[in-house]
A = this chain, B = another copy of it.
Amino acid sequence: MITLDLTLPDCRYPIHIGRGLLDRAGELMAPVLPQPRALIVTNDVVAPLYLARLEASLAAAGIQTRAVVLPDGESHKDWQTLNLIFDALIDMRAERKTTLVALGGGVVGDMTGFAAACWQRGAPFVQVPTTLLAQVDSSVGGKTAINHPAGKNMIGAFWQPRLVLADIALLDSLPPRELSAGLAEVFKYGLIGDAGFFDWCEAQAAALMARDADALIHAVRRSCEMKADIVGQDEKEQGVRALLNLGHTFGHAIEAGLGFGVWLHGEAVAAGMLLAADLAAQLGRQSAGELDRIEALLAAVQLPVRAPDLGLDAWLSLMGHDKKVDGGHLRFVVPDGIGRASVESDVDADALARVLGGRFIAR
């Protein structure tokens, strides 16, 4: 087991990474719970796979639990589903110190975290991420949210977990498309901040796709290290944390434009990263060779390398609803070569239009 620490001005929490940690969940969690009671929040896909083992481990550590099983899917990341968590908390007479435990992917994690942030104005919570995307990204850093019908993650909170437990053995059951989607976020870390890690990803793409344990542990570890470092510098996304949004302005437009859930988040981010890289190329910050490397790596793990053709007006309007808009100017995170990125706060509309009619849009 590897343990990383995320350190913020007001709190600090461990991220445990390894194979076979689920059965040690109780022992690892017990020291951080203010009260030996927890509500496990999961969904109807994950529950049959892992809920009983988590319950048994918590029970063995003397933690009393209840569980609530949500309907699966991004389309349920809404108020109605969030209320099922509140209903369960009411039903178990949960207190302010009762811990919520998220057992699932990013959807369960984001909703559980948001429910914890709001329950009696703030209850403790723990992340047990079960998708690669959740292990490398969404479970770390305290962003929580639900969707509004008109915009993704529009309603949420910054609320940090007490502990993150990433058991890569849980990824064995992950559908291949979900594995690939998680890899998009892994590669993002290389692109924005670690050229050597990007090289490693290129070399290990096949091992990652084969779910090789060592490769997965390294990928999760390096991703969490980088995320913890960035979030530690800028919890509330006033500066450097924005770099984590590489590909996300385009990606969110794809998700919203096609309807949430048609493309996976990581798939949209993959295509979005290519558009961001193309924008960088238009601005003279990326070479054709670098663009090719990014495209090749995404293709090697079956990620989409062409964004859907939403049409220029739809793209702009969908991106205008995006949170990364500041006073009407379109802001984009753009890579500077591989291993570095920056926020461009007033992107030239013509360059953007060339990208949105360019080679990375499906014809």
Q: Interface on A for B, CB 8 Å cutoff?
A: 35, 79, 83, 86-87, 90, 93, 95-97, 117-122, 143-145, 148, 150-151, 154-158, 236, 320-321, 323, 325-327
Contact = CB atoms under 8 A, between A and B. Distances in A.
A155 B86 contact: yes
A234 to B, nearest CB: 14
A235 B205 CA distance: 49
Listed residue (A83, A121, A327) with the most chain B CB atoms within 10 angstroms of its CB: A121
B79 A323 contact: no
A148 B90 contact: yes
Contacts of A96: 323
Q: At the interface, is chain A mostly helix, strand, loop or mixed?
A: mixed
B321 A158 contact: no
Nearest to A82: B79
Nearest to A320: B93
B236 A323 contact: no
Contacts of A119: 154-155
Contact of A79 (B83, B93, B148, B327): B83
A120 B155 CA distance: 5
B79 A158 contact: no
A35 B86 contact: no
Contact of A157 (B35, B121, B236): B121
B323 A157 contact: no
Nearest to A89: B154
A331 to B, nearest CB: 11
Contacts of A323: 95-96, 120
Contacts of A144: 121
Contacts of A143: 121
B90 A157 contact: no
A83 B323 CA distance: 18
Given A148-B90, A150-B90, A326-B95, A155 B35 contact: no
B90 A121 contact: no
B95 A325 contact: yes
B157 A145 contact: no
B321 A93 contact: yes
A319 to B, nearest CB: 12
Contact of A122 (B87, B97, B120, B158): B158
Contacts of A79: 79, 83
Contact of A151 (B90, B97, B118): B90
A154 B120 contact: yes
Contacts of A158: 121-122
Given A35-B327, A79-B79, A157 B118 contact: yes
A162 to B, nearest CB: 16
B86 A148 contact: yes
A154 B86 contact: yes
A156 B93 CA distance: 17
Contacts of A118: 118, 155-157
Nearest to A96: B323
A93 B319 CA distance: 11
